Amino acid sequence: QVQLVESGGGLVQPGGSLRLSCAISGNSFSWITMAWYRQAPGKERDLVARIWSGGRTSYADSVKGRFTISGDTGKNTVYLQMNNLKLEDTAVYYCYGLWLREYWGQGTQVTVSS
């Protein structure tokens, strides 16, 4: 059974940085795609960034140039580097992974506040 555990969330001032980590365990073969989603209070869960097993990445327009997703199938951790954080980045961030089926982590809170 695959498990995804996020860490690295917290409180940060506008303009600051955080790095989220998603630790992967229980997998017997490589993932197809990994992604970070976020959900702000009262809003839907939205895709933030995705990485494919070949290394291709994609980002939501709202985070392009500020966030970077990284990781490879040989390592059991995927990261989301978040720079120049804005108030509107406040949300619970979830790690997502796809093998034969999809898996979700429990989420980590990111709060951007002055």
pLDDT per residue as tens digits for the range 2-60 = 999 999 999 999 999 999 999 999 887 889 999 999 999 999 999 999 999 989 999 99
What b/e string do you get for 63-76 counting C-beta neighbours within 10 Å, with b at 16 or more?
beeebbbbbebeee
The residue count of the chain comes to 114
Tracing tokens 């506008």 back to the chain, one arrives at 14
Report pLDDT for 35: 98
Tokens at 19, concatenated: 């790095």
Q: What pLDDT is attached to residue 75?
A: 76
H or E element at residue 45: strand 45-52
Q: Which amino acid is at 63?
A: V
| Residue whose token pair is 């291709």 | 56
The DSSP 8-state label assigned to residue 106 in this structure reads -
